[in-house]
Structure 1
Amino acid sequence: MLNHVPLLLIAALGGIMVSLQAQLMGIMDRQMGTLESVFITYGLGGLIIGAAMLFYRGGNLAACASVPWYSMLSGLMGLIIVGSIGYTAPRLGLVPAMTILVLAQFAAAALIDHFGMLGADIRPLTLIRGSGIVVMLVGLWMTLR
């Protein structure tokens, strides 16, 4: 467990950033619109990661040819993620929007793991894991009330 501490902290940092991003995108969404807030988010993020990629690696994009074509859909999926967060957070509230987002992530991840979809290692959906998702459903219901 001790060797997982850095990974747990990085994952927690990512979770905190999702909530902060949702709130900030909600502000932009209300002031400018969903498409504009997604453009600002992705555009600025793209510039920053592009500069970092060039600085640290020199821009090794030739490796794109070695990944499956459907992996490139992650960019489109990222737009959907960011857009849905920016759109729903100011309308539902941060807690309900994030609860639905996380619950949907857990359910999809459980199916991907269980069936080994898209090259994932098979990790069966056990009664305990399924119970955790049911508990989250109850939490969602409580959050939305």
Structure 2
Amino acid sequence: MSSLFLLLLIFFGGVAAAVQPVINARLAARVGVIEAATVSFGVGTVLLVGLSLLVSKGSFRGLVGTPAWEMSGGLFGAFFVALTILAVPRLGVTTVMAALIVAQLVTGLFFDHFGFLGVPVEAIDFKRIFGVLLLLVGTALVYRP
């Protein structure tokens, strides 16, 4: 897969990340926040189980002996989904997405710099910090209290 195609897919992933909390917030207005998050994860789980059975070359056997923390990603996902369901109706999609992106980039800088969880080390430098600061300023500009 080419890097350009991967970037295009990431772009559409970003679109999905902006659309998902809007849909989930609408559902939450009908059923509640936790219930909407449960439905969101349930639908995603059904899709992923189907894909794993039909097209995946992997195996769940690899889970045997896997440390529990390596399977904790769903906890972060549940927190993320529930939080965006709460935040989008109050802050708006643009502000929520901007704040999430800044938080992800700051976290990413530290993961890259220190090689947390085995990611390749990429040192923090002024240019990268400046880029994150510009996004922080952008977040402040789009926020409407």
Q: Which runs of 5+ in 2 are unaligned?
A: none
Identity rate, percent:
27
Secondary structure in 2 matching 1:122: coil
Higher helix share: 1
Tell me the equivalent position of 1:107. Answer: 106
Q: Which runs of 5+ in 1 are unaligned?
A: none
Tell me the equivalent position of 2:77. Answer: 78
Deviation at 1:58, TM superposition (A): 7.8
Secondary structure in 2 matching 1:138: helix
Distance 1:68 1:138 in 2: 39
Two-structure CA RMSD over aligned residues (Å): 1.5
Tell me the equivalent position of 2:125. Answer: 126
Deviation at 1:48, TM superposition (A): 1.0
Secondary structure in 1 matching 2:120: coil
Deviations 1:21-76 (A, max 9, x none): 11111111222211011011000110111011112248721111364431111011
Distance 1:5 1:51 in 2: 28
Distance 1:142 1:114 in 2: 28
Distance 1:20 1:14 in 2: 10
| Matched-pair contact (CA < 8 Å) for 1:30–1:90 | no
Tell me the equivalent position of 1:8. Answer: 7
| Matched-pair contact (CA < 8 Å) for 1:113–1:121 | yes
Tell me the equivalent position of 2:87. Answer: 88
Moved more, 38-47 or 76-85: 76-85
State how many pairs are aligned: 143
| Matched-pair contact (CA < 8 Å) for 1:88–1:97 | yes
TM-score normalized with structure 2 length: 0.92
Tell me the equivalent position of 2:20. Answer: 21
